[in-house]
């Protein structure tokens, strides 16, 4: 999973670097696929329930599951969440980042910074003996403190030989509840926060999830392992 995680991290670093006004989300997707295949890994998202991309490319008010498209050209001020997964030697890793194209508004930057911070705070709770609700609650508490909307319809997940495994990891919950974390568990923690209110809808393409109020949304994710005394981020270079 470390090896798979490193490939995912490499993809996100490379593709994030390509984000600028004038680039299409399909170009980002093709680069991601090229890197994954060059590392003798397999894209986890491509073909998943019929999804056509190696990445999910979700722009502005799109929350998750945006479909890469040739005609979707980034403009200055757009923010884009890039989510991808790779399988290497039988094991999966999954991660996401949100980055801006050109010059973004202070509000967009704030949303990205705080969503990234909420992931860090959630991961700080990951250790043997902690409860899954401790992780969820750390994300929720920080989001509420900063008046951000929480996406409640989608959650993080266990991960291993399969991309999505038990348990579901919501971005809200009560401390001291849920499964007890044990050394050796692998989790994908992925806060999705909105500049506006909670609440999402799925567009007519059957995939793209957008905020109901049209506000910006950001998404950060890491695959991590529960270690003997804490947490190791696997989707890192
Ligand atoms: Mg995930």
Distance 188 CA to ligand 1 centre (A): 6
Phi-psi bin for 128: left (phi > 0), alpha (psi -120 to 50), beta? beta
pLDDT band at 180 (very low <50, low <70, confident <90, very high): very high
Residues 6+ apart with CB under 8 A from 221: 83, 94, 95, 96, 97, 119, 156, 188, 189, 190, 191, 235
Distance 60 CA to ligand 1 centre (A): 19
DSSP calls for 79-136: EEEEEEEEEETTEEEEEEEEEESSSPPHHHHHHHHHHHHHHHHHHTT-STT-BHHHHH
Q: Tell me what pLDDT residue 214 has.
A: 98
Q: Tell me what pLDDT residue 113 has.
A: 98
Q: Tell me what pLDDT residue 42 has.
A: 98
What does the DSSP 8-state code read for residue 187?
A: E
Distance 167 CA to ligand 1 centre (A): 12
pLDDT band at 192 (very low <50, low <70, confident <90, very high): very high
Angle at the Cα of 43 from the Cα atoms of 6 and 151, rounded to 5 degrees = 85
Q: Tell me what pLDDT residue 200 has.
A: 98
Query: What pLDDT, in 10s, does the model give residues 32-77?
Result: 999 999 999 999 999 999 999 999 999 999 999 999 999 999 999 9
What's the chain's average pLDDT? 98
Q: Tell me what pLDDT residue 177 has.
A: 98
Structural domain boundaries in the chain: 2-233
Enclosing H/E stretch for 188: strand 186-189
The whole-model pTM stands at 0.98
Report residue 10 as tokens: 């490499």
Q: What percent of the chain has pLDDT over 70?
A: 100
Q: Tell me what pLDDT residue 22 has.
A: 98
Q: Tell me what pLDDT residue 233 has.
A: 98
What is the third-level CATH fold of 2-233?
Creatine Amidinohydrolase (3.90.230)
Distance 221 CA to ligand 1 centre (A): 7
Distance 135 CA to ligand 1 centre (A): 15
Q: Tell me what pLDDT residue 63 has.
A: 98
Distance 119 CA to ligand 1 centre (A): 13
Query: What pLDDT, in 10s, does the model give residues 131-161?
Result: 999 999 999 999 999 999 999 999 999 999 9
As a whole number of angstroms, the distance between CA 103 and CA 90 comes to 40
Distance 230 CA to ligand 1 centre (A): 20
Report residue 148 as tokens: 């951000």
As a whole number of angstroms, the distance between CA 2 and CA 18 comes to 25
């Amino acid at each position: 999973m470390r090896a798979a995680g490193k490939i995912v991290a490499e993809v996100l670093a490379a593709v994030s670097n390509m984000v600028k006004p004038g680039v299409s989300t399909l170009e980002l997707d093709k680069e991601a696929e090229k890197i994954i295949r060059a590392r003798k890994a397999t894209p986890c998202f491509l073909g998943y329930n019929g999804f056509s991309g190696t990445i999910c490319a979700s722009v502005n008010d799109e929350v998750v599951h945006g479909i890469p498209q040739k005609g979707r050209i980034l403009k200055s001020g757009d923010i884009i969440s890039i989510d991808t997964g790779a399988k290497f030697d039988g094991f999966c890793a999954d991660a996401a980042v949100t980055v801006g194209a050109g010059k973004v508004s202070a509000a967009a930057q704030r949303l990205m910074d705080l969503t990234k911070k909420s992931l860090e705070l959630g991961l700080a709770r990951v250790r043997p003996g902690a409860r899954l609700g401790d992780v969820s609650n750390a994300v929720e508490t920080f989001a509420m403190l900063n008046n951000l909307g929480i996406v409640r319809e989608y959650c993080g997940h266990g991960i291993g030989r399969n991309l999505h495994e038990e348990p579901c990891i919501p971005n809200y919950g009560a401390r001291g509840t849920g499964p007890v974390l044990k050394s050796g568990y692998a989790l994908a923690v992925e806060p999705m926060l909105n500049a506006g209110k909670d609440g999402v809808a799925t567009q007519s393409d059957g995939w793209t999830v957008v905020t109901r109020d049209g506000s910006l949304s950001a998404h950060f994710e890491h695959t991590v392992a529960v270690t003997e005394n804490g947490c190791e981020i696997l989707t890192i270079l």
